Amino acid sequence: MQAWRSVRKGASMAKPDKRQVLNRLQSTARASRTALANRLLAHGFYAGQDQVMLALASEDGQTPGKLAERMGARPPTITKTINRLQTQGFLEKRASSGDQRQAHVFLTETGQAAIKAIEKSVKKTEKQALKGLDKKEQKALAKLLAKIETNLGAIEVDSARR
């Protein structure tokens, strides 16, 4: 299996410089976010909104705090995204029956209908990203990315303890 494929024509196929792996990972993440953002924009969504929508599609009626925790984002960021999605007509906030100070976020009918467009956009972007990789390479890539994510998550936990 060829571990590294060049994105640019004429780039060397030599063994990657270990110092450049993080740069390549960041560049790839940025390219995937840009490609997905372009597809989502056609459906009226901005970067990050898709994640809130998909989180509610799997469990509607979450609190903003629970959404923030689930997505690994700060509560003010999620609140801002929720407010924008509410203005766009995709979400609605309802007061909790047990605690009027607590709000729960729900998909509207428009929001529920938009989930298929979001899922289709994600699927198309993933297909574009994995073009030219066979199933074995895709599986190996997913395993490597999971390991990197675990390693970086462990660093965040270690740093927080210091």
- pLDDT digits over 15-28, tens only? 666 668 889 999 99
Give residues with Cβ within 8 angstroms of 104, minimum separation 6.
61, 62, 63, 93, 94, 95, 96
CA dist., res. 80 & res. 10, Å (int): 43
Domains in the chain: boundaries:
38-129
**38-129: CATH topology:** Arc Repressor Mutant, subunit A (1.10.10)
The string of pLDDT tens digits covering residues 128-153 is 999 999 999 999 999 999 999 899 88
In Å, what is the CA distance from 72 to each residue of 48, 65, 116? 12, 10, 24
Q: pLDDT per residue over 33-59, tens digit each?
A: 999 999 999 999 988 899 999 999 999
What is the Cα Rg of the chain in Å? 19
How far from the centroid of its chain's Cα atoms is residue 133's Cα? 21
